[in-house]
Amino acid sequence: MGFSNLITKAVGSVAPELVTNRRPTVIELGNQTLKNTKARGEIYQKLGISPPAELGGTKDWYLSLGFDRYLAIDVNTERDAVAMDLNVDIPKTYGFHEQFDLVTNNGTGEHVFNQYMVFKNAHDLCRVGGFMIHVLPFYRWVDHGFFNYNPNLFPCLANQNDYELRELWIASSDAQYLHKLDVNNLGRNKGYRGKLELDTWESDPMVAAVFRKVKDAPFEIPIQHMYGGDNISDDGIAGNYR
């Protein structure tokens, strides 16, 4: 997966908090190819760090920001990855219980069939107080992966799991277009395509979400908000959702 301006900006939104008074750790779902992005310079400036003369890869970039440990999960061991299957429960299948300060899912989840495990693994890999970043295809990604994602998914995930939803963006991968959505708005909005003129974007639009995990609890699947609450007539089903 390409580590572009958009994921760089998303990491930059939490990097100052992460690297202050600690040496944070990061794990990425899918090994990452570092792209030449202008957003890196902005983050170095924000952190008061001099950019290194050169970077060998994404791991080097994180270490240059002050991170202490880097790992990726993929089906191979390229680019600092360990081979594990994201379709399965990582802790149960591999006995891998390490938790990280930052978990990223940058253009990986759409290629994994088991969507429940994508979000559960991200949850389980993140320590309490840590961050999860999802940068995924939204609109016009025809036959790219198995899935595209709608923005309303992320507030519902946050609501069900008590995540703090720090950021929710519709943006291009190069971040030339970046529209911040209201993180408190759980409603569907069918007007994004026209309002944001998505069909005029040169790059296909993506959705980016930044969560902070605030409590130690098992992952819970969300229900889309308009089908919850009083719309559920069975008490047993209703008890599963917020």
Q: 60-86 burial, b for 16+ CB within 10 Å, e for fewer?
A: ebbbbbbbeebbbbbeeeebbbeebbb
Mean pLDDT of 188-208: 94
Prediction pTM value? 0.96
Q: What is the CATH number of the domain that holds 83?
A: 3.40.50.150
In this predicted model, what pLDDT tens digit does every residue of 19-76 receive, in sequence order?
A: 998 899 999 999 999 987 788 999 999 999 999 988 889 999 999 999 999 999 999 9
Task: Please name the residues in contact with 103: beta carbons below 8 A apart, sequence gap of 6 or more.
Answer: 26, 27, 28, 29, 122, 125, 126, 130, 131, 132, 133
Q: Which domain holds residue 234?
A: 2-238
Instruction: Give the model's pLDDT for residue 53.
Output: 86
Rounded Cα distance between 13 and 167, Å, is: 9
Predicted local confidence at residue 189, as pLDDT: 86
pLDDT of residue 225: 86
The pLDDT tens digits of the residues spanning 121-150 come to: 999 999 999 999 999 999 999 999 999 999
Counted domains in the chain: 1
Quick one: what percent of the chain has pLDDT higher than 70?
100
- pLDDT: is 185 or 35 the higher one? 35
Instruction: Say if CB 6 and CB 179 are below 8 A apart.
Output: no
